[in-house]
Structure 1
Amino acid sequence: MTHAALPHLLAAAEDDLRQVADIVNISSQAGRTATKDFGVYNMTKFGVNGFTESLRQEVTKKNVRIGVLEPGAVDTELISHNTEEIRNHLNATNLDAIPNPLQPEDIADSVVFMVTRHRRATIAELWAMPTSQA
């Protein structure tokens, strides 16, 4: 997706009106801290973080801002897409113990914050955490 979008974003960043373009990748707190039984998920999120930072370094001087949003617990269908055995294991790890997870609109608000900064500022990394999550 990034490969297809990047030429258009580089051209947009040269536009006299805004003079900047943005890519925001969505990762997870699991891309910062590995946890038992989540190795593959951790690997994919660490990969998103590494790719994002590498790309940021490659295109930042061309006024394309690259950032990664790393949310904590979000109220999504993620757990429901697993088998019953995995859901039972996840419940045993207390993933559902966070009483007020973030909502999708919290993630959208974070992305809006990242892309509406003045063109001189890049939010390269942003955590969005439920207040109740340790």
Structure 2
Amino acid sequence: MSTQQPENTAPADRKVILVTGASSGIGAAIAARLVTEGHLVVAGARRTDRLRELATSTTEEAARSGGALEPVRLDVTDRADVAAFVQGARDRHGRVDVLINNAGVMPLSRLDSLLVDEWDRMIDVNVRGLLHGIAAALPVFTAQGSGHLVTVASIGAHEVVPTAAVYCGTKYAAWAITEGLRQEVDPSIRVTTISPGVVDSELAHTITEAGAAEAMRSYRAHAMGPDAIAAAVSYALAQPADIDVNEIVVRPARQR
């Protein structure tokens, strides 16, 4: 029996792809799928132990596909940290083809609960984190004459429900910022918004208000897996350079 190791079979269209919030949930699913498709994924998050576990879990698939996963500590609320995340990837690999702005938090609560610190956290991660990513990646994409920015927004960018006013506000903002970017940039730079419905992830674990937590348990009764969102991202990235997938809304069939 041959003991020869699998050859590196990286595809000719292998991309250098940066993913924020990659330590769990949607971000981890996106990173893992893109590795299996042969891409070099730079996975950023604060929980580096989770990133290392993700890198280990994708080792076998990476060997088959020619992909790779590179864990990097990242705090998207720190502008300098995001700039270093993008520039470091460019310095190491010569280019950055895609930035997937996925990092997000969702501590839902009624407005009259006045959980202002939690509101600030959502604004810092969901809005400022996105802007930091754009500020870091756009000059790189412009200099290269190519690039693809993907924002993971939410169905909350299209509707508002009780306890979600601030969260939906941040996701409306993320949608608007990304759509504005799409209209402003040169056609050589593609811009996509992915708006997930209810997904089985850790986002709901950050809810501290009892009423909001209970409502979320009912809301998530028919959640979909994060792989559905990873598939949507994969589809958008795989289109020819002259095709720009502007937005994909993905939700469970039971979420009407």
Q: Considering the TM-score relative to the shorter chain, is it more than 0.5? A: yes
Q: For 1:60 and 1:123, how far apart are their aligned partners in 2?
A: 15
- Superposed displacement of residue 70, structure 1: 0.3
- Superposed displacement of residue 11, structure 1: 2.6
Show structure 1 runs of 5+ residues with no match: 15-19
Residue matched to 2:122 = none
Asked whether 1:48 is paired with 2:170, we answer no
Residue matched to 2:130 = none
Asked whether 1:113 is paired with 2:235, we answer yes
Give the letter for the 2:137 counterpart. A
Q: For 1:90 and 1:108, how far apart are their aligned partners in 2?
A: 23
Q: For 2:151 and 2:219, how far apart are their aligned partners in 1?
A: 23
Over 3 Å counting, the alpha-carbon distance change for 1:130 and 1:89 in structure 2 is closer
Structure 2 counterpart of 1:8, from 119, 137, 140: 140
Residue matched to 2:192 = 67
Q: Secondary structure at the match of 2:190?
A: strand
Asked whether 1:29 is paired with 2:151, we answer no
Structure 2 counterpart of 1:95, from 219, 225, 228: 219
Q: Secondary structure at the match of 2:180?
A: helix
Q: Secondary structure at the match of 1:102?
A: coil
Q: For 1:132 and 1:90, how far apart are their aligned partners in 2?
A: 15
Identical-residue share of aligned pairs (%): 28
Answer with 1 or 2: which has the greater Rg: 2
Aligned residues: 123
Show structure 2 runs of 5+ residues with no match: 1-132
- Superposed displacement of residue 89, structure 1: 4.1
Structure 1 counterpart of 2:250, from 116, 128, 131: 128
- Superposed displacement of residue 29, structure 1: 0.5
Q: For 2:193 and 2:220, how far apart are their aligned partners in 1?
A: 25
Residue matched to 2:81 = none
TM-score computed with the length of structure 2 as normaliser: 0.45
